[in-house]
Amino acid sequence: MTGLVKLRSVPEEFPAYRYRSTVSRITDGDTVRVVCDLGMRISREINLRIADINAPEVFGAHGTPEGQTAKAALAALLPVGSTLYVATRKDAKSFDRYVADLYIEGDDGTLRDVGQAMIDLGQADYVGNEGGKG
C-alpha cells in the first residue's frame, strides 16, 4: 500500500479525558487528591478542583469552621481508597489543580455527581463556570 491514509478527526464528545481514580486525600470541601489510572499500567497522583462549586475555606486567613464541616462532608462521600470517576475539563486548571466533574457509583450502579451532592448537603454553592477559578 502506498500513499497517505487520511484519518478521521476525533469527535469533540470523545471521552479522551475521563479516568477511573482512587481517592488518596481530601484537601478541603471542593478539592481532592486522587491517583488517576491513565491506562496501560500508568497512573498519576493529582489534585482536582470540583467543577462548578465553591465550598467554605479551610486554610489561611479565610479558613472557617464551616470549611472544616464541608471537608468532613466530602470525606464522608469520598473515603480515602474509594473509587471515583473523573471527567477533567480540557485545559482547565485552578492553582495547579485540574478542574473536573467527579462521580461516585451508587448502590444501584448509577453514577452520582459529587459536586451536586455537596450542594444538596448544603456544604457548597453552585458557581457555574467560575468554580475552577478559586
**pLDDT of 52 over the 50 cut:** yes
8-49 per-position pLDDT tens digit: 554 555 445 889 999 999 999 999 999 999 999 999 999 999
Of 125, 130, 132, 123, whose CA–CA distance to 67 is shortest? Answer: 123
The answer to whether residue 9 sits within a structural domain is no
Domain that holds residue 27: 18-132
Q: Examine residue 5 and state whether it is found in any structural domain, yes or no.
A: no
30 located within any domain: yes
User: What DSSP element (H or E) covers 89?
Assistant: strand 83-94
* 111 domain residue, yes or no: yes
pTM: 0.82
Longest dimension (CA), the chain: 68
Asked, for residue 58, whether it belongs to a domain, the answer is yes
Take residue 55 and report the three cell numbers written for it: 465550598
pLDDT, tens digit (0-9, with 9 covering 90-100), for 75-91 = 999 999 999 999 987 66
Does the residue 40 lie in any domain? yes
pLDDT at 89: 78
Read off the CATH number of the domain in which 56 is found. 2.40.50.90
Report pLDDT for 132.
46
Q: Confirm whether 110 is domain-assigned.
A: yes
| 11: in domain | no
Residue 95 banded pLDDT, cuts 50, 70, 90: confident
For residue range 98-121, list pLDDT tens digits in order.
899 999 998 999 999 999 999 999
State the total domains in the chain.
1
